[in-house]
Amino acid sequence: MKESSIYTQLWQKYRPVIISKMKLAVDGPQEYQLSKHEFEVISERKSSGHAFNLEINKGMLVNKISGTAVVRDLFEVLKSSNTATEMMQGNYFKINLTKDYRIKIQIIPAV
């Protein structure tokens, strides 16, 4: 059964800090500790966790995210922000959530 936008409200809560970290990523990789409990309350994915990788190059997805609600909802929340959309259009962002619920954001330099 496909989960539908169940993480959107949670990502809306974290959107300001994620966008702030995206801005700061120009100077180097950024990290922020999220609350494991908040994710577990939303979904029963306790054993598999919520870890993911999201890569966005010039506003376009680089990797497949369609099967994972947690990352799909984050991408949709970011696209709903003019600031985030503008930053994503001009950069290659790598955003990942680790098993210990630390979100890491970095800009991959153009070659």
Instruction: Give residue-wise pLDDT tens across range 44-88.
Output: 666 567 999 999 999 999 988 877 889 999 999 999 999 999 999
Share of the chain above pLDDT 90, in %: 77
1 occurs within a structural domain: no
pLDDT in the model for residue 40: 87
The answer to whether position 3 is within a domain reads no
Q: Are residues 70 and 57 in contact, defined by beta-carbon separation less than 8 angstroms?
A: no
pTM exceeding the 0.85 threshold for the entire prediction: yes
Model confidence at 2: pLDDT above 80? no
Which structural domain, as residue segments, surrounds residue 38? 8-107
Query: Which among 102, 111, 106, 104 is positioned nearest to 39, based on CA atoms?
Result: 102
- 59 sits in the region (left: phi over 0; alpha: psi -120 to 50; else beta) called left
**35 located within any domain:** yes
| Position 27 in a domain | yes
Q: Is position 82 within any domain?
A: yes
**pLDDT of res. 47:** 57
What domain count does the chain have?
Answer: 1
